[in-house]
Structure 1
Amino acid sequence: MAITSANQLELLQIADAVAREKMIDPGLVIEAMEESLARAAKSRYGSEMDIRVSIDRKSGRATFTRVRTVVEDELLENEKAEFTVETAKQYLEDPKVGDTFVEEVPPVDMGRIAAQSAKQVIIQKVREAERERQYEEFKDRAGTIINGVVKREEYGNVIVDIGAGEASLRRNDKIGRESYRPGDRIRVYIKDVRREERGPQIFLSRTAPEFMVELFRMEVPEIYDGVIEIKGCARDPGSRAKIAVISYDSSIDPVGACVGMRGSRVQAVVNELQGEKIDIIPWTDDAATFLVNALQPAEVTKVVIDEEAERIEVVVPEEQLSLAIGRRGQNVRLASQLTGLDIDILTEEEESKRRQAEFEERTKLFMDTLDLDEFFAQLLVSEGFTNLEEVAYVEVDELLVIDGVDEGTASELQARARDYLEAQNAKAMEAAREAGLQDDLANFEGLTPQMLEALTADGVKTLEEFATCADWELAGGWTIVNGERSKDDGVLEPFDVTLEEAQDMIMTARVMLGWVSPEDVVGSSEEETEDASAEEAGA
Structure 2
Amino acid sequence: MAITSANQLELLQTAEAVAREKMIDPGLVVEAMEESLARAAKSRYGSEMDIRVSIDRRTGRATFTRVRTVVEEEELENYQAEMTVEQAKQYMAEPKVGDQYVEEVPPVEMGRIAAQSAKQVILQKVREAERDRQYEEFKDRAGTIINGQVKREEYGNVIVDVGRGEAILRRNEKIGRESYRPNDRIRCYIKDVRREARGPQIFLSRTAPEFMAELFKMEVPEIYDGIIEIKAVARDPGSRAKIAVISYDGSIDPVGACVGMRGSRVQAVVNELQGEKIDIIPWNEDQPTFLVNALQPAEVTKVVLDEEAERIEVVVPEEQLSLAIGRRGQNVRLASQLTGLDIDIMTEAEESARRQKEFEERTQLFMDTLDLDEFFAQLLVSEGFTNLEEVAYVEQDELLVIDGVDEGTAEELQTRAREHLEEQAKKALANARELGAEDSLIDFDGLTPQMIEVLAKDGIKTLEDFATCADWELAGGWTTANGERVKDDGLLEPFEVSLEEAQGLVMTARVELGWVDPADLETAEDDSEDEDGDDLIAEEDAEAAEEARD
Task: Name the TM-score class by shorter chain.
Answer: over 0.9
Match of 1:284 in 2: 284
Q: Matched residues in 1 for 2:253 and 2:531: separation?
A: 34
1:257 aligns with 2:248: no
Q: Matched residues in 1 for 2:535 and 2:108: separation?
A: 68
| Matched-pair contact (CA < 8 Å) for 1:244–1:282 | yes
Match of 1:267 in 2: 267
Q: Deviations over 1:513-532 (max 9, x none)?
A: 11110111122233344556
Match of 1:399 in 2: 399
| Matched-pair contact (CA < 8 Å) for 1:175–1:206 | yes
Q: Matched residues in 2 for 1:196 and 1:80: separation?
A: 37
Matches within 5 A, 1:302-381: 302-381=302-381
Match of 2:186 in 1: 186
1:240 aligns with 2:246: no
Q: What is the CA distance between 1:533 and its match in structure 2?
A: 6.5
| Matched-pair contact (CA < 8 Å) for 1:260–1:266 | yes
Match of 1:213 in 2: 213
Counterpart residue identity of residue 356, structure 1: Q
**Local SS of the residue matching 1:116:** helix
Match of 2:414 in 1: 414
Identity level (%): 82
Q: Deviations over 1:23-42 (max 9, x none)?
A: 11111001000001101111
Q: Matched residues in 2 for 1:315 and 1:158: separation?
A: 45
Q: Matched residues in 2 for 1:336 and 1:307: separation?
A: 14
Change (3 A) 1:197 1:532: farther
Match of 1:500 in 2: 500
The answer to which of 39-48 and 355-364 deviates more is 39-48
Q: Matched residues in 2 for 1:72 and 1:123: separation?
A: 39
1:101 aligns with 2:111: no
Q: Deviations over 1:117-173 (max 9, x none)?
A: 111110110000000100000000000000000011101100001011111000000
Q: Matched residues in 2 for 1:46 and 1:8: separation?
A: 25
Gaps of 5+ in 1: none
Q: What is the CA distance between 1:246 and its match in structure 2?
A: 0.2
Q: Deviations over 1:81-111 (max 9, x none)?
A: 1112221221222322222111111111212
The answer to which of 220-229 and 93-102 deviates more is 93-102
- The CA RMSD over aligned residues, in Å, is 1.4
| Matched-pair contact (CA < 8 Å) for 1:312–1:343 | yes
Q: What is the CA distance between 1:357 and its match in structure 2?
A: 0.3
Matches within 5 A, 1:83-94: 83-94=83-94
Matches within 5 A, 1:96-245: 96-245=96-245
Change (3 A) 1:533 1:491: farther
**Local SS of the residue matching 2:86:** helix
**Local SS of the residue matching 1:195:** strand
Q: What is the CA distance between 1:446 and its match in structure 2?
A: 0.9
Match of 2:65 in 1: 65
Q: Deviations over 1:271-290 (max 9, x none)?
A: 00000000000001100000
Q: What is the CA distance between 1:73 and its match in structure 2?
A: 2.1
**Local SS of the residue matching 1:440:** helix
Q: Matched residues in 2 for 1:297 and 1:156: separation?
A: 36
Q: Matched residues in 2 for 1:220 and 1:116: separation?
A: 57
Count of aligned pairs between the two proteins:
539
Q: Deviations over 1:319-350 (max 9, x none)?
A: 00000000000000000000000000000000
Matches within 5 A, 1:443-522: 443-522=443-522
1:9 aligns with 2:12: no
**Local SS of the residue matching 1:147:** strand
Q: What is the CA distance between 1:60 and its match in structure 2?
A: 1.4
Q: What is the CA distance between 1:266 and its match in structure 2?
A: 0.2
Q: Matched residues in 2 for 1:343 and 1:534: separation?
A: 36
**Local SS of the residue matching 1:200:** strand
| Matched-pair contact (CA < 8 Å) for 1:507–1:521 | no
Match of 2:547 in 1: none
Q: Deviations over 1:364-383 (max 9, x none)?
A: 00000000000000000000
Change (3 A) 1:284 1:533: farther
The answer to which of 107-116 and 358-367 deviates more is 107-116
**Local SS of the residue matching 2:418:** helix
Q: What is the CA distance between 1:5 and its match in structure 2?
A: 1.8
| Matched-pair contact (CA < 8 Å) for 1:146–1:188 | yes
Q: What is the CA distance between 1:2 and its match in structure 2?
A: 1.5
Q: Matched residues in 2 for 1:535 and 1:166: separation?
A: 48
Q: Matched residues in 2 for 1:462 and 1:118: separation?
A: 73
1:80 aligns with 2:74: no
Q: Matched residues in 2 for 1:189 and 1:209: separation?
A: 10
Q: Deviations over 1:460-512 (max 9, x none)?
A: 11111111111101111111111111111111111111111111111111111
Q: Deviations over 1:279-326 (max 9, x none)?
A: 000001100000000000000000000100000000000000000000
Q: What is the CA distance between 1:429 and its match in structure 2?
A: 0.8
Q: Matched residues in 2 for 1:520 and 1:126: separation?
A: 57
| Matched-pair contact (CA < 8 Å) for 1:192–1:202 | yes
Q: Matched residues in 1 for 2:389 and 2:224: separation?
A: 57
**Local SS of the residue matching 2:447:** coil
Q: Matched residues in 1 for 2:527 and 2:395: separation?
A: 39
Counterpart residue identity of residue 385, structure 2: F
Q: Matched residues in 1 for 2:351 and 2:468: separation?
A: 41
Q: Matched residues in 2 for 1:526 and 1:219: separation?
A: 49
Q: Matched residues in 2 for 1:480 and 1:529: separation?
A: 31
Q: Matched residues in 1 for 2:174 and 2:533: separation?
A: 43
Change (3 A) 1:113 1:534: farther
Match of 2:546 in 1: none
Gaps of 5+ in 2: 543-550
Q: Matched residues in 1 for 2:363 and 2:68: separation?
A: 96
Q: Matched residues in 2 for 1:384 and 1:270: separation?
A: 51
Q: What is the CA distance between 1:65 and its match in structure 2?
A: 0.4
**Local SS of the residue matching 1:507:** helix
Q: Deviations over 1:202-251 (max 9, x none)?
A: 10000000000000000000000000000000000000000000000000
Q: Matched residues in 2 for 1:125 and 1:532: separation?
A: 55
Q: TM-score, normalised by structure 2?
A: 0.96
Change (3 A) 1:364 1:143: same
Match of 1:386 in 2: 386
Q: Matched residues in 2 for 1:282 and 1:532: separation?
A: 31
Counterpart residue identity of residue 143, structure 1: G
Counterpart residue identity of residue 255, structure 1: V
Q: Matched residues in 2 for 1:514 and 1:490: separation?
A: 26
**Local SS of the residue matching 2:199:** coil
Q: Matched residues in 2 for 1:510 and 1:131: separation?
A: 54
Change (3 A) 1:277 1:471: same
